[in-house]
Amino acid sequence: MPAEPTIHRAALGAVIALAVASLPAAAQPRSHTATHGYAPFATEHLLPGAALDLGDVDRESPFARVVALTIDDGPDPNDLRILEILRRHGAKATFFCIGGKVMQHRDIALALAASGNEVGSHSQTHPMMTDLPAAQRDRNLGKANAALAGAGIHPAWFRPPYGDFDETVTALAQAHGLQTVLWTVDSQDWKGLGTDAIVQRVTERLAPGAVVLMHSTKPASLQALSRILEDGERKGYRFVTMTEWQEAMRLAVATPLAMLHPSPAK
């Protein structure tokens, strides 16, 4: 399958040229997420480049009682079991897939696409994006989009590997039709934590509008998932895709709690 052509846009080219000329990629400061392991609930850290101002979200609004469950590093055989767990709980998730693995597990990618959940891009080869020259970043994103398109998937979201991004990465992602998103809750399953530790880390940090990071390649996360979903259900949360999460955050801005429950007239 031919890779998606590299995007040539004058304005974007100027941004890339300035970034490369002013600061070597390896010397650029790491993002908050890459440095601290999570993103605060703020647009510049969690949803960089988005028009939605998360600072305006009323997190007491009923619309905000959602959690975006995100599953990275697929497609993976475990994804099929994850889909069954999600189905049993009436929950949704966004699977951030690596383009190179889509080629290896096309049948699983097709199953994800047909499941009613959401599939996003996790790059082609899972690099530290800011360590790459701008042209390589662009090619990496384009190849991932092409691999996903081969499975009938046209992603709207990009999860930078390791949470590593800068303004050039987000600009390139936008040029490829992708909104960059990080996470507010890290399960730390990638550290090799056991099931109980993963459940505790996630459930203690669930909050309105949380974005949870897990990995389908980690068996302990697979075992923890049902318990996390059950805990969230008891607390009144819905588990949704990133697109559903974004719409919920917009509604939580547009419809503050005071409008839903106005004070009685005197």
Instruction: Assess whether pLDDT exceeds 60 at residue 133.
Output: yes
Report the pLDDT averaged over residues 183-212.
Answer: 98
Tell me whether residue 122 is one of the annotated catalytic residues.
no
Fold for 30-256, please state it: TIM Barrel (3.20.20)
pLDDT reported for residue 62 = 96
* Percentage of the residues of the chain whose pLDDT score is greater than 70: 85
pLDDT reported for residue 18 = 47
Q: Predicted confidence band at 263 (pLDDT cuts at 50, 70, 90)?
A: low
Residue 5 or 103, more confident: 103
pLDDT reported for residue 255 = 75
Cα–Cα distance for residue pair 262/40, rounded to 1 Å: 30
Instruction: Assess whether pLDDT exceeds 60 at residue 9.
Output: no
Cα–Cα distance for residue pair 6/9, rounded to 1 Å: 10
Model confidence pTM above 0.95:
no
pLDDT reported for residue 23 = 43
Instruction: Assess whether pLDDT exceeds 50 at residue 21.
Output: no
Write out the H or E segment, with its range, that includes residue 211.
strand 210-215
pLDDT reported for residue 236 = 98
- The one catalytic residue in 45, 105, 122, 215 is 215
Instruction: Assess whether pLDDT exceeds 80 at residue 244.
Output: yes
Instruction: Assess whether pLDDT exceeds 50 at residue 8.
Output: no
Instruction: Assess whether pLDDT exceeds 60 at residue 16.
Output: no
Q: Report the chain's C-alpha Rg in angstroms.
A: 19
pLDDT reported for residue 5 = 46
Tell me whether residue 53 is one of the annotated catalytic residues.
no
Q: Predicted confidence band at 42 (pLDDT cuts at 50, 70, 90)?
A: very high
- The one catalytic residue in 72, 76, 79, 189 is 72
Beta bridge partners of 213: 70, 186
Instruction: Assess whether pLDDT exceeds 90 at residue 228.
Output: yes
Instruction: Assess whether pLDDT exceeds 70 at residue 91.
Output: yes
Return mean pLDDT, the chain.
90
> Residue 169 in contact with residue 160, Cβ under 8 Å?
yes
Domain locations in the chain?
30-256
Q: Within 10 Å of residue 190's Cβ, how many Cβ atoms?
A: 16
From the centroid of its chain, how far is CA 232? 19
End-to-end CA distance of the chain: 68
Instruction: Assess whether pLDDT exceeds 80 at residue 11.
Output: no
Residue 233 or 10, more confident: 233
Report the pLDDT averaged over residues 215-224.
Answer: 95
